[in-house]
Amino acid sequence: MKLSVRGEYALRALLVLGLNYGDHVVRIQTISDDQKIPKRFLEQILNDLKSAGIVESKRGLAGGYRLARHPRDITLAAVVRHIEGALAPVSCVSERYYEKCSCPDETRCPIRNVMKEVREAVVKIVERVTVAELCERAQRLKEEPLSALDYII
Amino acid sequence: MKLSVRGEYALRALLVLGLNYGDHVVRIQTISDDQKIPKRFLEQILNDLKSAGIVESKRGLAGGYRLARHPRDITLAAVVRHIEGALAPVSCVSERYYEKCSCPDETRCPIRNVMKEVREAVVKIVERVTVAELCERAQRLKEEPLSALDYII
DNA sequence: TAGAATCTCTACTGTTTCACTCAAGTTTAT
DNA sequence: ATAAACTTGAGTGAAACAGTAGAGATTCTA
């Protein structure tokens, strides 16, 4: 998995929507200001997330976006898969975006074998982490003093 | 981590060199035929691996490539890092290819927090797996009957 | 009901990356 | 000498990336 700027923006926008989860709707402009994301670009991205059923919108004055589901039901995996495509490092180990690769014998390819492990490790994390957890982590990070690790890693 | 075709070719070439590790040298043409990699492209890649000290060459007739170190001392991490750059899903969590991202407060960004975990999970695998292990796996995969899992995952 | 603020949709654009390809050179075994 | 190999640097067409632009549709408010 490699996140493009687009994917990163998507996650950051969803974080804002998660932190503001409730009845009301958040304007693009607000998210754009808060997260320093180019507005027109963000429009595209949110629209895209809407078509994926991750987000819903209200039009007109006092319009904006909100999460289409509970933050607890939106996994990072779903978001990244929709924006970026495969989570796997090579498409021959991808479940949803599988593509045959050119190697002589895919079923006995040791590289593929390792890449499967990588894929599993990544999926295990992003399938477990939801927007709700992102919000909790944000809370925790705000309260906790910074650990030394933050500077090293 | 996302592997480009280039990176995949690099690993496959190294696998061949690993399987032929010894005194003699392997020709580009041989690797190209064996792995179905466009020859001129492979030349570039091997040259690149040479500049990284991963591989060494002998010129002239009866020339070719061999591993510059013992297969046990070449990790996938080193190879991928040289060919693709960062292993991390976003550069703000990369150790060697760090780049600041545009988010309001990097040290308290929960997305970054998750991406760190992803990075760690990936690094843990590719830093442990060497070309030697790739060869062992190739051996094992050749001998073992295919497990049902191979078709599902 | 006019107008302004919002989302919607499509298209465009400049830059970079990707996956090669090509040409001309250097080295070395026979 | 020659042919088969690596070396080096440049070129190329297509696609992806990160936006930008414009015209339109919707809806709240005055």
B89/B37 Cα distance (integer angstroms): 27
Per-residue pLDDT tens over the stretch A113-124: 999 999 999 999
Angle between helix B5-19 and helix B76-84 axes, rounded to 10 deg: 140
With left for phi above 0 and alpha for psi between -120 and 50, is residue B53 left, alpha or beta?
left
CB-based contacts of B112: which residues, under 8 Å, 6+ apart?
A: B90, B92, B93, B101, B103, B106
Closest CA relative to residue B133, chosen from B50, B15, B23? B15
- The CATH code of the domain that includes A32 is 1.10.10.10
Per-residue confidence (pLDDT) for residue A144, from 0 to 100: 76
Per-residue pLDDT tens over the stretch A43-55: 999 999 999 999 9
Domain membership of residue A150 (yes or no) is no
Domain membership of residue A77 (yes or no) is yes
Domain membership of residue A152 (yes or no) is no
Q: Tell me the CA–C1' distance in angstroms for B65 and D22.
A: 57
Per-residue confidence (pLDDT) for residue B147, from 0 to 100: 61
Measuring alpha carbon to C1', the residue closest to nucleotide C8 is A47
Q: Tell me the CA–C1' distance in angstroms for A90 and D13.
A: 24
Instruction: Say if the Cβ atoms of B1 and A146 lie within 8 Å.
Output: no
Is residue A146 predicted with pLDDT exceeding 90?
Answer: no
Instruction: Say if the Cβ atoms of B95 and A8 lie within 8 Å.
Output: no
* Weakly modelled stretches of chain B, pLDDT under 70: 145-153
- Is A91 near strand C, with its CB below 7 A from some atom of it? no
Domain span at A45: 5-143
Is residue A147 predicted with pLDDT exceeding 90?
Answer: no
Which two three-digit tokens encode residue B56? 């060494």
Nucleotides of C under 7 A from a protein CB: 3-11, 18-23, 26-30
Helix (H) or strand (E) holding A58: strand A55-58
Domain membership of residue B149 (yes or no) is no
Counting the structural domains of chain B, the total is 1
Say if pTM beats, i.e. exceeds, 0.75: yes
Question: Helices (H), strands (E): how many in chain B?
Answer: 7, 2
Per-residue pLDDT tens over the stretch A70-108: 999 999 999 999 999 999 999 999 999 999 999 999 999
- Is A49 near strand C, with its CB below 7 A from some atom of it? no
Instruction: Say if the Cβ atoms of A11 and B93 lie within 8 Å.
Output: no
Domain membership of residue B66 (yes or no) is yes
Domain membership of residue A68 (yes or no) is yes
Per-residue confidence (pLDDT) for residue B144, from 0 to 100: 76
Domain membership of residue B39 (yes or no) is yes
Domain membership of residue B152 (yes or no) is no
Per-residue confidence (pLDDT) for residue A45, from 0 to 100: 98
- The bridge status of strand B64-67 relative to strand A55-58 is unpaired
Per-residue confidence (pLDDT) for residue A148, from 0 to 100: 53
Partner residue opposite A118 with nearest CB, options B8, B108, B122: B122
Residue B136 three-state SS: helix
